[in-house]
Chain A
Amino acid sequence: AQKVTQAQTEISVVEKEDVTLDCVYETRDTTYYLFWYKQPPSGELVFLIRRNSFDEQNEISGRYSWNFQKSTSSFNFTITASQVVDSAVYFCALSAEYNFNKFYFGSGTKLNVKP
Chain B
Amino acid sequence: DADVTQTPRNRITKTGKRIMLECSQTKGHDRMYWYRQDPGLGLRLIYYSFDVKDINKGEISDGYSVSRQAQAKFSLSLESAIPNQTALYFCATSRVGETQYFGPGTRLLVL
Contacts and interface: CB of A to CB of B under 8 A. Distances in A.
Interface of A: 9, 33, 35, 37, 43-45, 47, 50, 91, 95, 100-103, 105-108
Interface in B33-57: 33, 40-45, 48, 50
B100 A103 contact: yes
B74 interface: no
Among B58, B94, B97, B98: residue with most chain A CB under 10 A: B97
B42 A108 contact: yes
B48 A47 contact: no
Given A33-B97, A43-B88, 18 more contacts: A9-B40, A35-B100, A37-B102, A43-B104, A43-B107, A44-B102, A44-B104, A45-B105, A47-B99, A47-B100, A47-B102, A91-B42, A101-B50, A101-B94, A106-B42, A107-B41, A108-B40, A108-B42
A101 B93 CA distance: 10
A43 B44 CA distance: 16
- The A interface is mostly helix, strand or loop, or mixed, namely strand
Contacts of A103: 33, 43, 45, 100
A33 B100 CA distance: 12
A47 B42 contact: no
